[in-house]
Amino acid sequence: MLWLTLSLLAAIAFGLRGMLYHWTSQKPVNRNLMLCGVFAIGAVINLVGALATSADWTVSTLVGIQMGLFSFGANASMFKGFAVGKASLVAILTALPSVVVVLAAYLLWDERINGAQLAAFAVIVGGVLLVRYSNELSLRNLQGAQWGLLAMLLFACNDLSGKWSTLLGADLMPTLFFMFATGMLCFGLWWLADLRRETAMMHARAQAAASETAGGALSSNGASDSVAMVSSSMTTPAAVASVEAADGQQAAASTANRAVSGWSIRRTFVTGLAVGLTNTAGMLLIVPAFDLGKAGLVSAVVALNVPLVLLYTRFVVKERFSRTELAGIFMSLAGILLMRLFGG
């Protein structure tokens, strides 16, 4: 039952990550830059670990690139869904990767689960869905469903890729290095694109403001005598306007860094590094769990990070539990007990 222990520890790590995600979502941070930091620390830790343990950098470890792309796409889709649609609907859909993983693992690798395991799986998934359920959800309000579905599929593909890496015999840390490095690169490039676009917009605003200032200053001083113009040749309104324009552009470039993120670049990135420690721990636990256990069951147990985040919102954020949420928590715990009794 080592796979179950590793899965539960991974659920705790990902639960901590969810709590930190919730906390940072209330802060003025640029999410792309923060997630770049989340993946960056994972790349560094796994690179150091792989070099220290003389791990084998085989072709099979390149599966990590695939994992990184799926992880990047899943996170991006989830955040897009939250931005344009109902958070409750997106949350429900992103809680269902384990269902996809069970079906795919059966079709790809003929992974079968017995009746007791299937019952435990159904109880866990049902509990997670109850926790995710919100009264805000209705059939008439399905905005963001397409992004939620995409996130669900990509999270499932990431789990399946992790299982595949174990079947190929790929060493853990080199594989995870490629995963985290790929995610870091994708989010980093996305953030740089946002930064360049925002900087260009602020430059354009600064130039427009400077042009208006220069034009107004020149027209209001058109009747000045020639002696005054010669003596003040270094401080004419036009010259001042030119200097102000240059200063404005420089200020725009500096301010753009904060416009894209309310926090400074350094603070946001360092926060991402700290959050990334929980994400890295989760991945270091879940991949060995996939190696020892069945992919669908591992994915279902790891989904228990949802009730953990809910406990955080209850005791830290001081949100009240609804009856549905309480039922979901108890149902999830019951599923774990069943999995412990009947898991293979």
Rounded Cα–Cα distance for residues 8 and 332 (Å): 12
Other beta carbons within 10 Å of 264:
11
Q: Phi/psi at 343 (nearest 5 deg)?
A: -65, 150
Distances (CA, A) of 125 to 100, 144, 298: 12, 22, 12
Rounded Cα–Cα distance for residues 145 and 255 (Å): 36
Q: Would 213 be classed as within a structural domain?
A: no
What pLDDT, on a 0 to 100 scale, did the predictor assign at position 233?
47
Indicate the number of domains in the chain: 1
Look-up: residue for tokens 């301010």? 255
Single pTM value for the model: 0.75
Q: 144: alpha, beta or left, given left = phi > 0 and alpha = psi -120 to 50?
A: left
Q: Would 232 be classed as within a structural domain?
A: no
The two tokens of residue 96 are: 């269902």
Q: Would 236 be classed as within a structural domain?
A: no
What pLDDT, on a 0 to 100 scale, did the predictor assign at position 231?
46
Instruction: Name the residue range of residue 44's domain.
Output: 2-192+264-342
What pLDDT, on a 0 to 100 scale, did the predictor assign at position 341?
59
Rounded Cα–Cα distance for residues 83 and 87 (Å): 8
Residues linked to residue 141 through DSSP beta bridges, in sequence order = 138
Rounded Cα–Cα distance for residues 208 and 2 (Å): 65
Q: Would 246 be classed as within a structural domain?
A: no
End-to-end CA distance of the chain: 7
Q: Would 214 be classed as within a structural domain?
A: no
Q: Would 229 be classed as within a structural domain?
A: no
Q: 169: alpha, beta or left, given left = phi > 0 and alpha = psi -120 to 50?
A: left
Written as tens digits, the pLDDT of the chain (344 aa) is: 799 899 999 999 988 888 888 788 778 889 899 999 999 999 999 999 999 999 999 999 999 999 999 999 987 887 777 666 555 556 666 667 777 888 888 888 988 877 877 787 788 777 766 765 654 545 454 456 678 788 888 989 999 999 999 999 999 999 999 999 999 999 999 999 989 998 898 888 888 888 777 666 555 555 455 444 444 444 454 444 444 444 444 544 444 444 444 799 999 999 999 999 999 999 999 999 999 998 888 888 887 776 777 677 667 766 666 677 677 767 776 776 676 556 55
Q: Is 318 exposed, middle or buried (0-12, 13-18, 19+ CB in 10 A)?
A: exposed
- Residue 290 and residue 167 in contact, taking contact as beta carbons nearer than 8 Å: no
Q: Would 127 be classed as within a structural domain?
A: yes
What pLDDT, on a 0 to 100 scale, did the predictor assign at position 245?
45
Q: Is 300 helix (H, G, I), strand (E, B) or coil?
A: helix
Rounded Cα–Cα distance for residues 91 and 82 (Å): 8
Q: Would 259 be classed as within a structural domain?
A: no
- Residue 307 and residue 8 in contact, taking contact as beta carbons nearer than 8 Å: no
Among 72, 51, 28, 65, residue whose Cα is nearest residue 279? 72
